Structure 1
Amino acid sequence: MRRINRLGALLGAGALVLGTVTIGIATTASIAAAAGKFKACVVTDTGGINDHSFNASAWAGLQDAAKKDKNISASYLSSTSSASYAPNINKFISQGCGIIVTVGFLMDGATATAADAHPTQKFAIVDDVPKAPKSKDLLALTYDTNQDAFLGGYVAAAMSKTGVVATYGGADIPPVTIYMDGFVAGVRYYDQHMHKHVKVLGWTPSKGNRAKGQFNGKGTFVGNFTDQTAGKTITSGFFADGADIVFPVAGGVGLGSVAARSCGSTPTAASPRSRTARTSSAR
């Protein structure tokens, strides 16, 4: 019943603008008519479906696809902890999802295990490249996200009145530190070409050559993507140290940065997903 030609579902990623990923799914009319509704499913990371970031944008992409093609139905399951990953994925497998999209680097292991155990099940994962040699349909959705972070760093440096900007991460993992790398690179590029010296707090990339896919350095991390109180505390500390723009790479934690700015302070809490430096949303 779930035999769907591989060309029957095309999973694409578009509109990566300052860190926002939108996922779209399209099916051909002939295959959809033969197979019935195509069920597209998302398993979120612990930030929740309304994280103003990749979870939310992945779900928005499926909703958009369902609106444009009545033969598509969309569903999601939110993970409350890492222990929820595998049960949520397996639940969707048992429900006959045409494709299961998992969101985030931290879902690597659970996604790879499920993909190998069900090699004909279509999977996609945002921000990661799992190793699942038995799987025939696992699509890794990765991007050069340091490039859009570079733009954020350049704009932050240009807008700063104090000559100090800052960034911090949700967790010390490559999809986060690549963003922080890009932000620092953008600030340094601004300094070089505008003959300025804007200081960056919260992240110092390591010197010398680094292994491919590794973005090592020393910086400030919360340890999760949900603790908004920690985000507020960290941001307030940056403000106290002279930063007037803070760039959180921390999912819903970034809303804590917005709260810090709302407490009567004039500095700005920006984010990788911001359309402008004063938009309040987090990666």
Structure 2
Amino acid sequence: MKKLFVFAILALLMVSVFAFKAIMVTDTGGLGDKSFNDGTWAGIKRAAEELGIETKVIQSYEQADYISNLTKAAQEIQKEPDGGIVYAVGFMMTDALFEVAQQFPDVYFAGIDIAPPTDVVPPNVISFLFKEQESAFLVGYVAAATTRTGKVGFIGGIPIPPVERFRYGFEAGVKVYNELHGTNVTILKGYANSFSDPKKGKDLALAQFAEGADVIFHASGAVGNGVIEAAKEKMVSLVGSEDMAKIIEYAFENGGFFAMGVDVDQDYMAPGVVLASAMKGVDTASYYGVIWAYNGEWTPGIHTLGLAENGVRLSPMKYTKGLISNRTVAELEYLVYLIKQGILVVPNTEEALKSFRVPNIVFPF
């Protein structure tokens, strides 16, 4: 009995000696957004399960919470015998992250969608950025190939750089489809000026549907839940049923109303109604940040992930691929190849979008 007691004490000591923690500070969208925050958290949890480490989420309810929440997280990490890592999620946390990181040089920090404000990146900070425009290009191409009204929509949250890169890519995808196929698909655009107001997303989507759009891509965090809800309501009203098989059958024959998801694979949120999702690997980024910090493989600075790095991608379209022609699927594969090879460069700024010219693309089939 005494030996068992000693072993138990030693086991507890071993856990405490090698304790390492990963803490995520959300933006105002919070967990449950089925998008950006949830995707980042999924990567952290996957790493934590592999490493056997502790995790925690600190919710931000308003932007004024960012500095205090990041400070609280860093203070918790400092108490851990083996340290840990703090995640700041979202562009809006840029200033707060770099202010707090300088105050805690012995704590690792990772920023998702956060670019350093200067060329000098503190040695305890990693920034993960994404070529959102590349996955958005693909959903833009799909939207243009699918629309039956010749009008599609884009709804953004707040027009910050990552959201705008989604828009640039979406517009470029529609433009390339138009030029290659001789169509004239047009785009409606709107912004919720929020990432946490699904009602605003729904209202914007219903307004765009009323103006003639039949496919709407959102890049708006939890606001997009309302966009998807609006598309589902409109489609169910047409079909007279929520049954996925009936929705798919109707859509194949007649078209309908569709949403397009963002950040993670949101196709499951309304099977048959969410046409595709422009995914970015926030889960991949958050996973590797934890692994690198834990294993001592830390490389500070900016890590930018695109199609070539599997940092962004198109969702598998598990429910809706049958609504896309085989020809379009093959074209998408070839366009991905061109982007990865640097032959097709998707614009990532407003200026690049305005000057974007479709290269000479000849499909080899």
- TM-score normalised according to structure 2 size: 0.60
**Any residues of structure 2 matched to 1:1-283 within 5 Å, and which?**
36-70=18-52, 72-96=53-77, 98-131=84-117, 133=120, 135-202=122-189, 220-265=190-235, 266-272=256-262, 273-274=264-265, 278-279=273-274
Displacement of 1:80: 0.5
C-alpha contact 1:170 1:225 (8 A) present in aligned 2 = yes
Tell me which protein shows more helix as a share of its residues: 2
Give, as a single letter, the amino acid of the residue that structure 2 aligns with 1:46. Answer: T
Aligned residues: 234
C-alpha contact 2:139 2:278 (8 A) present in aligned 1 = no
Moved more, 180-189 or 132-141: 132-141
> Which whole-Å CA distance do the structure 2 matches of 1:154 and 1:136 have between them?
40
Give, as a single letter, the amino acid of the residue that structure 1 aligns with 2:34. Answer: H
| Partner SS state of residue 130, structure 1 | coil
Give, as a single letter, the amino acid of the residue that structure 1 aligns with 2:199. Answer: T
Alpha-carbon displacement from aligned partner over 1:209-256 (angstroms, at most 9, x marks no partner): xxxxxxxxxxx2111101111111110111011100000110000011
Displacement of 1:35: 5.0
Structure 1 runs of 4+ with >6 Å offset: 280-283
Distance 1:111 1:140, change over 3 A: same
C-alpha contact 2:27 2:89 (8 A) present in aligned 1 = yes
Higher RCO (CA-CA < 8 Å; seq separation 6+) = 2
> Which whole-Å CA distance do the structure 1 matches of 2:141 and 2:103 have between them?
45
Q: Where do 5+ consecutive residues of structure 1 fail to align? A: 1-31, 203-219
> Which whole-Å CA distance do the structure 2 matches of 1:269 and 1:251 have between them?
14
Alpha-carbon displacement from aligned partner over 1:119-161 (angstroms, at most 9, x marks no partner): 2321010111123747321101001110000001001111111
Aligned partner of 1:216 in structure 2 is none
Displacement of 1:93: 1.1
Give, as a single letter, the amino acid of the residue that structure 1 aligns with 2:36. Answer: F
> Which whole-Å CA distance do the structure 1 matches of 2:137 and 2:50 have between them?
34
Give, as a single letter, the amino acid of the residue that structure 1 aligns with 2:168. Answer: D
Alpha-carbon displacement from aligned partner over 1:8-62 (angstroms, at most 9, x marks no partner): xxxxxxxxxxxxxxxxxxxxxxxx9895121011101000111111211111111
> Which whole-Å CA distance do the structure 2 matches of 1:274 and 1:282 have between them?
8
- TM-score normalised according to structure 1 size: 0.77
> Which whole-Å CA distance do the structure 1 matches of 2:261 and 2:110 have between them?
25
Give, as a single letter, the amino acid of the residue that structure 2 aligns with 1:45. Answer: D
C-alpha contact 2:34 2:266 (8 A) present in aligned 1 = no
| Partner SS state of residue 204, structure 2 | helix
> Which whole-Å CA distance do the structure 1 matches of 2:133 and 2:17 have between them?
40
| Partner SS state of residue 114, structure 1 | helix
> Which whole-Å CA distance do the structure 2 matches of 1:226 and 1:275 have between them?
16
| Partner SS state of residue 40, structure 1 | strand
> Which whole-Å CA distance do the structure 2 matches of 1:34 and 1:260 have between them?
50
Aligned partner of 1:6 in structure 2 is none
Give, as a single letter, the amino acid of the residue that structure 1 aligns with 2:155. Answer: Y
Superposed CA RMSD in Å reads: 2.2
C-alpha contact 2:153 2:188 (8 A) present in aligned 1 = yes
C-alpha contact 2:111 2:127 (8 A) present in aligned 1 = yes
Q: Where do 5+ consecutive residues of structure 2 fail to align? A: 1-13, 78-82, 236-255, 280-365
Q: Name the % identity.
A: 35
Tell me which protein shows more strand as a share of its residues: 1
> Which whole-Å CA distance do the structure 2 matches of 1:275 and 1:152 have between them?
13
C-alpha contact 1:169 1:248 (8 A) present in aligned 2 = yes
